[in-house]
Amino acid sequence: MDLAERISTLRLVNGLSARQLAALVDVAPTTVTRIESGAVSPSFDLAQELLTVLGEPIGFTGVADIAAIAAARSALDSSLAVTVTPEVEAWQQRWTRIGLVNDQGRVVPGKEPDLLFRAGRAARLTRRPGAVDYKTGPSAYDLAGALDAARVEYALTGDAGANLYRSSAGENWPVLYVEDVSRAAAAAGLVPKEPGSFGMRITLIPFDGVSELGRTAINEISVAARDQVILDAYGGIDRMAEQADILLGRRVA
């Protein structure tokens, strides 16, 4: 896939118009359409920014952009202790240009679902830094019980987290944020998944200073904040996007 086709495909996958993508990188809409048609070639810096806002920058290493999560969580909840780095500010500025965030860095009323979707696409759940996959076995709720017993801090997210806020579907992929991946895996008796293998799995993601903020307890189970669960579901797999829509009231369970 050449650069023009890659940009066009990713734009459509992200649900953006050419005008919206142009606003994200602060260029004229005709620049985007000409790049996608192959009429012009973007500079390296412009190509990098285009692909960054679409979630797959040049030299992509497979690691999701935590700054997008931080920017979205901060815009949605100003009480959170989110560190505003230059990378976070860059995301806020991009989202300001397309009317999702105001000049004070707060989400524009009514734009919460769009902001969560954009952040989820930029920080895919399958690509979080430090995440480790394990073979299937215990359910997310069994894992929670084991971590509680071992006094390992955690927060459920993904479909299991969504079901705690509003039951909507079965659990396909247990995903938990944990304070220490090795301790959590040992406490739950998890076996690492073979590298390169596909199919069902359990994923543990280390606390990153943002995603675990605002977690709460539902039915005595620690779960990530509702906004984080929705963001993760939009950046997840299979039916997770539908579950995010259900939590936002955009789809009937």
Taking only the tens place, the pLDDT of each residue in 48-73 is 889 888 877 766 566 788 999 999 99
> What is residue 64's predicted lDDT score, i.e. its pLDDT?
81
Burial label for 244, CB within 10 Å (0-12, 13-18, 19+), is buried
Considering the four listed CATH numbers 3.10.530, 2.60.40, 3.30.200, 3.30.460, the one that applies to the domain covering 126-247 is: 3.30.460
Mean pLDDT value of segment 91-99: 91
Separation CA 113–CA 239 (nearest Å): 17
- pLDDT at 55 (0 to 100): 79
Considering only CA atoms, which of 20, 37, 38 is closest in space to residue 29? Answer: 20
- Six-digit token string for 190: 């998890």
Cα torsion angle, 147, 235, 107, 251, sign: negative
Which of 174, 151, 179, 148 has its CA nearest to residue 163?
174
Give the domain ranges of the chain: 3-53, 66-125, 126-247
| pLDDT above 70 (res 249) | yes
Question: Is residue 1 pLDDT above 80, yes or no?
Answer: no
Asked if 168 contacts 243 with a C-beta cutoff of 8 angstroms, the reply is yes
130: left (phi > 0), else alpha (psi -120 to 50), else beta?
left
User: What pLDDT score does 125 carry?
Assistant: 87
Architecture of domain 3-53: Orthogonal Bundle (1.10)
pLDDT for 196 equals 67
pLDDT tens-digit series, residues 184-230: 999 999 999 887 666 788 999 999 999 999 999 999 999 999 999 99
- 15-59 confidence digits (pLDDT tens): 889 999 999 998 999 999 999 999 999 999 899 889 888 877 766
